[in-house]
């Protein structure tokens, strides 16, 4: 029934349609396309040359190269598979929440309602705007299941402890391999919390309490699980740690950055008002968005369901310690999600150092909605058993009064533009709560059960469906006119053409386009150009180099020539006049009002031979890279260290280079000059790159702040650059050791059983 409901809610998926929202289009689809194309071409996708000037893939674990379910993206239509794989994760997580609820309740329908409350909440549905978090969210309940299984094994000597260790470690390892370490930490926190609630939330006179293993034994078992999980995922996180130094994520975030997407206090209204504030961030003027938190939020809804909250209220009562503890944990998660609006988030960032690197406090809602789902299961159990019917009705009536009072409150505190949507959402929540209250008056039996399940499903479905934006896979696969213009105009070369896309475009286009008009595919927003083989600058990726950002911040047309950006999409402040606002650039077309595509003339070739070199630190280099000798390719600025030496050229000519082969982690070029010089590649410098000149090792120097340079002598030379990520070999070794440990855990009980059954066992 649970899977059927989710299939109905996402029915367009089964008719070939795909979800096309925010990160799904900006990052996930292009990232999967890059990996798929690299593997199809016979290359290991360890270096991505299509974003920025290139970046190390393993420095951003969100690529999930070693996450097994991502192999599904290699088959079938890519855009459809991206949505289908995430939907399968949602189903998997919903089943996990159902099974986790069974540890707390005995009635199967109550556990079913927990799965519904978890998978169809506004939070779970709006996670599609962030894409990969759906997959990480799916492992949250399984961490709880695994940890509880571990404790049960240590409490009961008859259970297999080796198997329990694996059940506890695998969900954590999967979340780490998926790529978001912070959601993996939250998953572990959720698992530990519900496990402790399950164990220590029992009444003191409960029979199971007497058989509990000592606390130190439990702590040791949980520590062993975490060590095994980290070892299994080392192939992902160890290369990331090794390659982090050259990326934007190499330092703790400032509070102003880390607390972006803090949940505004006014959004508490959304818990009981379906789809009430989405307009503030998607459809309404920018001023409304600023009133409710400034930057675009992580979630466009946090609707928990009026019917679900009514059930959750029924979970409380005397001797119901588990419910009260879960409620306290839910309140703490809500305060953490509010980020800079409360001091709780700042305190946690200091207590748990890894969280100082995490953005978006709204991620803590992962915990909240797990706790609400369990409370709803406990309340449903009480409802289905018809315990204290009068008390149940009083609590539902109290929630109804509270929701009714929110109508005038919404009119008073919300911007006027949001009041109609808030009232519609409150009406839905109030009606769902009322239906649950009316169902408490029915006699116990299947009619009441069916009506309760239907009420929850309809309530959550009506709140979830408007959040889903569907498109066709064919539409995403078609090259927009802008991509066609770039590919037709670009010089035929092994390297992909480069497009610089101004960060100011969004602001300018809003003046001429409706806010809800999608322009991602039309204007190749962020990384969308990667799908069509066009490199994008600056791009959108955690592994981008901050040095590239400094270079692009200069904002000069000369910078585009220096980095080999053959095309530029720039804002048009007055498209109606149709004048060439930048006469030094060649206009090609206007993909949408407020934006114009230009060809940048006289860009430097992707590899050239510079006869002159100077050595300068980054600050001096930033001042000198726009000087004519550098822009003309006659001079290169080398970073100090690594044997870099200044060189004054002889009167000989500059020489020339040609790019012979270009692959993600393999570049070959031929250079010829009458004097010694430096072969300069307009590609991102990073550790892991090695060079050979005519088959002999040569140094790879950092040049012009961000690029690579290889010294060569006079004459004709064949230069080859190869990339292998630092830390990958070590990560593979540690993960192999973890897999070997898992194999030992699996085989050890069987071997012991054979020995006991052997005829020689007693001799």
For residues 693-717, average pLDDT: 94
Is pLDDT of 642 > 70?
Answer: no
Average pLDDT, the chain: 86
Q: Which domains does the chain have, with CATH numbers?
A: 2-9+22-47+78-127+264-467 (no CATH), 480-599 (no CATH), 607-723 (2.60.420)
Position 193 scores a pLDDT of: 94
Is pLDDT of 178 > 60?
Answer: yes
Tell me how many degrees the CA angle 548-551-553 measures, rounded to the nearest 5.
110
Position 292 scores a pLDDT of: 58
Q: Name the pLDDT band for 284 (thresholds 50, 70, 90).
A: very low
Please answer whether residues 52 and 565 qualify as being in contact, where contact means their C-beta atoms are separated by less than 8 angstroms: no
Q: Name the pLDDT band for 409 (thresholds 50, 70, 90).
A: confident
For residues 720-725, average pLDDT: 95
For residues 151-172, average pLDDT: 82
Residue 91 class from Cβ within 10 Å (0-12 exposed, 13-18 middle, 19+ buried)?
Answer: middle
Residue from 560, 567, 563 nearest 482 by CA: 567
Q: Name the pLDDT band for 762 (thresholds 50, 70, 90).
A: very low
Q: Name the pLDDT band for 760 (thresholds 50, 70, 90).
A: very low
Separation CA 450–CA 457 (nearest Å): 11
Please answer whether residues 111 and 282 qualify as being in contact, where contact means their C-beta atoms are separated by less than 8 angstroms: no
Q: Confirm whether pTM is higher than 0.85.
A: yes
In angstroms, what CA-CA distances link 334 with 66, 101, 300, 366? 33, 21, 16, 10
Position 441 scores a pLDDT of: 79
Question: Which of 456-465, 541-550, 733-742 has the least mean pLDDT?
Answer: 541-550
Position 353 scores a pLDDT of: 78
Tens digit of pLDDT for each residue in 198-250? 888 766 555 555 456 667 777 888 898 999 999 999 999 999 888 877 776 66
For residues 170-175, average pLDDT: 94
Separation CA 240–CA 47 (nearest Å): 13
């Amino acid at each position: 029934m649970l899977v059927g409901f989710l299939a109905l809610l996402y029915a367009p998926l089964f008719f070939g349609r795909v979800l096309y929202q925010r990160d799904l289009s900006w990052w996930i689809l292009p990232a999967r396309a890059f990996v798929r194309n690299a593997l199809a071409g016979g290359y290991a996708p360890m270096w991505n040359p299509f974003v920025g000037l290139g970046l190390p893939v393993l420095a951003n674990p969100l690529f999930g190269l070693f996450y097994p379910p991502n192999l599904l993206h290699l088959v079938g239509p890519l855009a459809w598979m991206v949505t289908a794989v995430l939907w399968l994760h949602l189903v998997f997580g919903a089943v996990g929440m159902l099974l986790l609820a069974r540890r707390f309740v005995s009635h199967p329908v109550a556990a079913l309602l927990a799965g519904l409350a978890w998978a169809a909440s506004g939070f779970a549905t709006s996670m599609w705007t962030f894409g990969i978090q759906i997959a990480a969210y799916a492992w949250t309940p399984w961490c709880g299941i695994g940890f509880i299984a571990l404790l049960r094994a240590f409490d009961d000597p008859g259970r297999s402890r080796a198997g329990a260790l694996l059940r506890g470690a695998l969900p954590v390892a999967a979340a780490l391999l998926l790529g978001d370490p912070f959601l993996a930490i939250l998953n572990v926190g959720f698992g530990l919390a519900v496990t402790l609630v399950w164990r220590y939330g029992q009444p003191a006179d409960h029979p199971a309490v007497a058989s509990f293993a000592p606390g130190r034994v439990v702590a040791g078992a949980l520590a062993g699980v975490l060590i095994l999980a980290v070892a299994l995922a080392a192939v992902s996180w160890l290369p990331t740690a090794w390659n982090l130094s050259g990326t934007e994520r190499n330092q703790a975030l400032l509070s102003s950055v880390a607390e972006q997407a803090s949940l505004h206090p006014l959004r508490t209204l959304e818990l009981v008002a379906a789809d009430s504030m989405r307009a503030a961030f998607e459809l309404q003027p920018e001023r409304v968005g600023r009133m409710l938190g400034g930057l675009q939020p992580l979630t466009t809804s946090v609707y928990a369901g009026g019917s679900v909250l009514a059930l959750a209220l029924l979970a409380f009562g005397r001797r119901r310690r588990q419910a009260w503890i879960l409620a306290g944990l839910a309140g703490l998660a809500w305060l953490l999600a509010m980020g800079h609006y409360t001091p709780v988030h700042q305190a946690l960032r200091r207590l748990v150092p890894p969280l100082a690197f995490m953005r978006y406090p709204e991620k803590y809602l992962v915990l909240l909605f797990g706790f609400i789902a369990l409370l709803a299961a406990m309340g449903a159990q009480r409802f289905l058993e018809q315990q204290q019917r009068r008390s149940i009705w009083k609590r539902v009536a109290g929630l109804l009064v509270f929701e009714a009072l929110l109508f005038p409150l919404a009119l008073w505190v919300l911007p006027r533009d949001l009041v109609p949507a808030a009232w519609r959402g409150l009406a839905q929540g109030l009606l769902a709560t009322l239906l649950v209250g009316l169902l408490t008056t029915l006699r116990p039996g299947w009619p009441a059960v069916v009506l309760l399940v239907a009420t929850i499903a309809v309530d959550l479905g009506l709140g979830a469906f408007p959040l889903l934006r569907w498109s066709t896979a064919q539409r995403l696969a078609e090259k927009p006119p802008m991509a066609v213009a770039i590919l037709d105009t670009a010089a035929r070369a092994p390297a992909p053409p480069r497009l610089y896309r101004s960060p100011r475009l969004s602001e300018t286009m809003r003046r001429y386009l409706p806010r809800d008009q999608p322009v991602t595919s039309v204007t190749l927003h962020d990384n969308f150009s990667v799908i069509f083989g066009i490199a994008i600058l600056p791009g959108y990726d955690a592994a981008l180099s901050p040095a590239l950002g400094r270079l692009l911040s200069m904002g000069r047309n000369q910078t585009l020539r220096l980095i080999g950006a053959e095309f530029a999409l720039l804002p048009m402040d007055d498209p109606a006049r149709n004048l060439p606002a930048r006469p030094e650039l060649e206009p090609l077309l206007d993909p949408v009002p407020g934006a114009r595509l230009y060809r940048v003339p006289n860009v430097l070739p992707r590899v050239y031979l510079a006869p002159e070199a100077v050595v300068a630190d980054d600050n001096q280099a930033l001042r000198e890279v726009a000087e004519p000798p550098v822009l003309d390719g006659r001079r290169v600025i080398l970073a100090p260290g690594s044997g870099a030496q200044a060189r004054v050229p002889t009167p000989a000519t500059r020489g020339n280079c040609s790019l012979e082969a270009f692959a993600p982690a393999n570049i070959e070029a031929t250079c010829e000059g009458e004097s010694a010089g430096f072969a300069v590649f307009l590609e991102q410098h990073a550790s892991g790159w090695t060079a050979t000149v005519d088959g002999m090792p040569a140094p790879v120097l950092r040049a012009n702040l961000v690029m690579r340079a290889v010294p060569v002598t006079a004459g004709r030379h064949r230069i080859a650059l190869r990339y292998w990520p630092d830390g990958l070999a070590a990560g593979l070794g540690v993960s192999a050791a973890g897999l070997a440990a898992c194999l030992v855990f699996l085989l050890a009980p069987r071997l012991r059983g054979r020995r006991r059954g052997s005829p020689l066992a007693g001799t």
